[in-house]
């Protein structure tokens, strides 16, 4: 099983940017924890981070087509990127949306996700642990569908 993990704008600044919202773990440390969990689950992860919407769309179209599922933290693009939403819908892979902070308890403009209706679920407010929850849920769902 191969999963694509997509990190959107500013996630390269994890550990430095607003730790009260996003925690103190760096992106590399978060990905290491995901790799450890993926190894336990027997799945392969492909990671990608960009601050550019078009690059995110490109990787979803290119790598998402080859993946069994997708985990995505779109960052601020969550709230307005119809291009990202349409790319996820077009590849049609089971997808889990992840947010480190609880977007529903923050500023009014962060409370809406334009991609929520094309993903199987959303994890918000659990910090880096939300990525592990998303990984476990996605793998479990795919295995329930008969994927090895």
CATH number at residue 104: 3.40.50.9100
Q: What's the pLDDT score for residue 147?
A: 81
The tokens for 91 are 């590849």
Residue of 39, 52, 82, 99 marked catalytic: 99
Is there a catalytic annotation at residue 22? yes
Q: What is the pLDDT of residues 57-70, one digit of tens each?
A: 999 999 999 999 99
99 given a catalytic annotation: yes
Q: Catalytic pick from 21, 22, 79, 82?
A: 22
Domain count, the chain: 1
pLDDT, tens digit, for every residue of 93-132?
999 999 998 877 666 766 689 999 999 999 999 999 999 9
Residue-level pLDDT at 148: 72
Q: What is the model's pLDDT at position 14?
A: 84
| Residue-range definition of the domain harbouring residue 25 | 2-144
pLDDT greater at residue 31 or residue 111:
31
């Amino acid at each position: 099983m191969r999963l694509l993990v997509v990190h959107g704008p500013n996630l390269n600044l994890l550990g430095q940017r607003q730790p009260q919202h996003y925690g103190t773990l760096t992106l590399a440390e978060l990905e290491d924890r995901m790799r450890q969990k993926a190894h336990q689950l027997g799945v392969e992860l492909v990671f990608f981070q960009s601050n550019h919407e078009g690059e995110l769309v490109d990787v979803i179209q290119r790598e998402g087509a080859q993946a069994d599922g997708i985990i995505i933290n779109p960052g601020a693009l969550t709230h307005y990127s119809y291009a990202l939403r349409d790319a996820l819908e077009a590849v049609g892979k089971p997808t889990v949306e992840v947010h480190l902070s609880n977007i529903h308890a923050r500023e009014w403009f962060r409370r809406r996700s334009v991609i929520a209706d094309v993903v199987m679920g959303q994890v918000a407010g659990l910090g880096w642990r939300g990525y592990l929850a998303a990984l476990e849920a996605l793998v479990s769902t795919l295995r329930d569908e008969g994927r090895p």
